[in-house]
Amino acid sequence: MKWLCPRPVTKSCVIGAISLALLGSAAARPVEAAPIYVNGDECPTDATMAGFDRQYSITQAIACMYDASSSNIQGTAGEAAAYLNTAAAQPTWGTGWTGLGTDPIGFTFTKDAGNDDGTFAIDTNVLHYDQFAVAIKDGGSPKWALFLLPVDTFTGDWHFLSSGGVLSHFAVFGHDVRPDIPAVPEPATLLLLGSGLTATALTARKRKRHGV
């Protein structure tokens, strides 16, 4: 601190010098990029490819997003909170998203010999949601992109639009746009219910007749 603080060195000068050093180190740190949200089925879009060597697509997607400061995506609850259930994602993405993990049971996919194109399918008997978001993970820059599928779309075509991409895994998220609708009772159930109500009414009449 000799070059900053003249002799005799005072406590206030030392504190000031340390504060300046801390400010300088904070300013030197790179600022992390915020997630980028895009309308359409390409991420990054053609217009924003400068500085990136990887471009992903799901043909059926209506929107996508990526985070250049993140190196992985695994379909976790934390990622759903950070990327989907946020003000930045609204109103396009909706809310109430749940992370379903990487390549979860109920999600299947195909890939070509180059491991850079293929198809996928979602079994809603296993993954009980009416809308899904599917992320493609690679090792390029950006490392991944997450795509929003239209409601009730459970199949798709995935692609690397840039050369050199090799699939690592998929991460999947789900949510319900429509509220749950109670199931319609089967005829046998209705018959049993009707029989029970009839028996209850007859019992009540007998008790009333006998003054019970």
* Model confidence at 47: pLDDT above 70: yes
Pair (145, 49) in one structural domain: yes
Residue 8 has pLDDT above 50, yes or no: yes
Same domain as 81, residue 151: yes
CB neighbours of 94 closer than 8 A, spacing ≥ 6?
131, 175, 177
Are 2 and 68 in a shared domain?
no
Query: 58-112, pLDDT tens digit by residue?
Result: 999 999 999 999 999 999 999 999 999 999 999 999 999 999 999 999 999 999 9
Whether 194 is in a domain gets the answer no
| Residue 142 forms part of a structural domain | yes
**In terms of domains, do 16 and 63 share one?**
no
Instruction: Give the model's pLDDT for residue 172.
Output: 98
Is the same domain home to 131 and 168? yes
Same domain? 19 vs 54: no
Same domain, 103 and 24: no
As a whole number, the mean pLDDT across the chain is 81
Q: Which domain holds residue 11?
A: 1-30
In this prediction, residue 179 carries a pLDDT of 77
Q: What is the pTM of this model?
A: 0.72
Residue 66 sits at φ, ψ, to 5 deg, of -150, 165
The full DSSP string for 112-152 is -TTSSEEEEEE-TTTS--SEEEEEEE-SSSSSEEEEEPPTT
pLDDT in tens, 120-155: 999 999 999 999 999 999 999 999 999 999 999 999
Please report whether residue 59 resides in a domain. Answer: yes
Q: Is-contact 10 2, C-beta < 8 A?
A: no
Check whether residue 120 and residue 170 sit in a common domain: yes
> What pLDDT, on a 0 to 100 scale, did the predictor assign at position 22?
44
**Same domain (yes/no): 41, 72:** yes
Same domain for 119 and 85: yes
Let me know whether 113 and 40 are in one domain.
yes
The answer to whether the CB of 79 falls within 8 A of the CB of 49 is no
- 190 falls within a domain: no
The answer to whether position 198 is within a domain reads: no
Is residue 144 in some structural domain?
Answer: yes
- Indicate if 61 and 141 belong to the same structural domain: yes
CA separation (Å) from 175 to 29, 47, 74? 37, 30, 16
In a domain, 212, yes or no: no
pLDDT at residue 182 above 70?
A: no
Q: How many domains does the chain have?
A: 2
